[in-house]
Structure 1
Amino acid sequence: MRKKREMQILLIILLTVALICGCSTKEEQNNEQKVEGVEIEEDTDTYRFVDVLGNEYEAELLDIPPITQNLTRIEDQDGKKFYLGEDGEIASRLGIDVSEYQPEVDWQQVKDYGVDFVIVRLGYRGYGEAGKLVEDSMFRSHVEGALAAGLDVGVYFFSQAVDKEEAEEEAQFVLERIRDYDIKGPVVYDTEEIKNDTARTDDLDGKAFTDHCITFCDAVKAAGYETMIYANMKWMAFTLDLTRLTDYEKWYADYEPLPQCPYEISMWQYTETGQVPGIDGNVDMNLWFL
């Protein structure tokens, strides 16, 4: 009888140990929440990502609106990505962005391939001390050709503003040049980290870059146009103050298989090496979520 009781006690101990180990394993598995494309540390309020060179980063997860798309519903068909809604229907638009680096474009071929919209570089501010505003040499040709083919058109401006006055000047430079066109797509403000060169914005901090985004976008919105801010994950994580930019849509650049951004985005630039009939060489391709 005593031996039987000892066996019962031993069995209870073994079951208890197994239960504790099982819970521990489950806790370890759940400690790290992995959404396709976004890796979030639940207990530490951080997330991890890689840049275009494969460098790994960890950043604080901000208390701002999260990404709303179910990234597992992004499909790829021969380089053309699309997003499926809950009803299984396509809930996205396919687009490209072009500049003078794509000098010859057969816009009808582009449209026939399935491209819905194009974002054309309108211009840029030079890196030098003078910071001269320059219109992209193909801006007008690209806009007119795309519109004639029935594509929706937006524009972007590459900024090198060093203060809010220059950001306002950039906005007015853009508005003066789009008023004669039927611009239905977004007017985008593009600030970036400048690598392998000296830029007039090298000494700016995140507050200044964020101020310039707000100044430009508010001027564009006041003129009646849709606006967006272009940025990659590193720029969002460590430079822009996203807590001040929740009222502005984001055009997010990330060449990983799925977006790594944990925050709300409107458009995803998913490759810089796209191949589209009617365009010689590579072209940036974009997915606009509806």
Structure 2
Amino acid sequence: MAVDPEVKRHKYDLSKLKHKKGSAKISYDDGTYTIRKGVDVSHHNGVIDWEKVKKAGYEFAFLRLGYRGYGKEGKVLVDREFQSSFKRARAAGLDLGVYFFSQAINEEEAIEEAELVLRELNNSKLELPVVYDPELINDDEARTDNVDGDQFTKNTIAFCKRIKKAGYKPAIYSNMYWEDRLFDLKKLSDYPIWFADYSAKPQTPYHFRFWQFSESGKVDGIGGSADLNVEFIKKQ
């Protein structure tokens, strides 16, 4: 991965990170930053017992609010568990953010996705960002197969600007491939990154706020596998 000197680097001292690949156990404190644990979920996780999740030590959650189908029609849909999970996770005391799984092929579709997010949120309070989650579909044909990095970047900016205009804080879901091959990170510098990397340590040199470190975690209250995350937070 060629490092762009014009893109902001993270300042975390990852030698202080205690984590083994595949493990749910994780800790970090470098004197300036520490972490707190969270999960991200969708209807694929079924009905979640959020009280148990909270008692297990998880302080925040990103809920999938909706998604666009990756077939030709590309219909935008709300995650069928979103509203129920939102209410119960809120009652359990978790800080909440949401994400939208995008298959937008242009800015107009990205704005359409943002509008669905805003309608479904209906001015609900969020402690964490609204995350734009564009992804490639590797095991099937997808409507985004011919979308290049420049267009993905434009779509991301369009979504984030609409979310910000409505008073929410936007962020971007990313990984090494997207940062190296697709996103123009210089144009996305206004938005926090939620970085996915299932290694022992996050491998990106660039700044990120959230790290999704496992897609196969076991969490009391969540059936099957769960995505595990940490947020890097500055100590007071």
Common topology (TM > 0.5): yes
Q: Is the 8 A contact 1:82 1:287 kept in 2?
A: no
RMSD over equivalenced CA pairs, Å: 1.4
Structure 1 residue 60 and structure 2 residue 2: aligned?
yes
User: Do 2:175 and 2:197's aligned partners in 1 also have CA atoms closer than 8 Å?
Assistant: yes
Q: CA deviation at 1:80?
A: 3.4
Paired letter, 1:195: N
Residue of structure 2 equivalent to 1:260: 203
TM-superposed CA distance for 1:83, in Å, is: 2.2
The answer (yes or no) to whether the contact 1:80–1:94 under 8 Å persists in 2 is no
1:286 corresponds to 2:234? no
The residue aligned with 1:126 is 69
Contact 1:82 1:94 in 2 (8 A): no
Asked if structure 1 preserves the Cα contact closer than 8 Å seen for 2:19 and 2:201, the reply is no
Q: SS of 1:229's equivalent?
A: strand
Which residue of the other structure, out of 222, 237, 259, is the alignment partner of 2:180? 237
Gaps of 5+ in 2: none
Does the Cα contact within 8 Å between 2:47 and 2:81 map onto a contact in 1? no
Tell me the equivalent position of 2:26.
Answer: 81
- 2:93 aligned with 1:189, yes or no? no
TM-aligned CA deviation for residue 180 of structure 1: 4.7
Task: Give the structure with higher Rg (CA).
Answer: 1
Following the alignment from structure 1 to structure 2, what is the Cα–Cα distance between the partners of residues 80 and 105? 21
Q: Report the equivalent of 2:79.
A: 136
For structure 1, which segment, 189-198 or 72-81, has the greater mean C-alpha deviation from structure 2 after superposition?
72-81
Displacement, 1:244?
Answer: 1.1
**Per-residue deviation, residues 202-221 of structure 1 (Å, max 9, x unmatched):** 11110000001101011111
| Correspondence list, 1:129-208, <5 A | 129-208=72-151
Query: 4+ runs of 1 displaced by more than 6 Å?
Result: none
**Normalising to structure 1: TM-score of the pair?**
0.77
Write the letter of the residue equivalent to 2:55.
D
Sequence identity (%): 44
One-letter amino acid matched to 1:75: K
Q: Where does residue 10 of structure 1 map in the other structure?
A: none
2:69 partner amino acid: G
Give, in whole Å, the separation in 1 of the partners of 2:44 and 2:59. Answer: 20
Other structure's SS at 1:201 match: coil
Amino acid at match of 2:225: N
Amino acid at match of 1:92: I
Q: Give the aligned length.
A: 230
Select the residue among 157, 170, 177 that pairs with 1:227: 170
Q: 1:4 maps to which residue? A: none
Question: Tell me, which stretches of 5 or more residues in structure 1 are unaligned?
Answer: 1-58
Distance 2:48 2:155 in 1: 32
Q: What is the identity, as a one-letter code, of the residue corresponding to 1:282? A: S
Secondary structure of 1:86's counterpart equals: coil
Distance in 2, Cα, partners of 1:243 & 1:185: 23
In the alignment, structure 1 residue 101 sits paired with structure 2 residue 29: no
Q: Conserved in 1, the CA contact under 8 Å of 2:102 and 2:113?
A: yes
Higher RCO by CA contacts (8 Å cutoff, separation 6 or greater):
2
Per the alignment, residue 210 of structure 1 pairs with 153
Aligned-partner SS, 1:145: helix
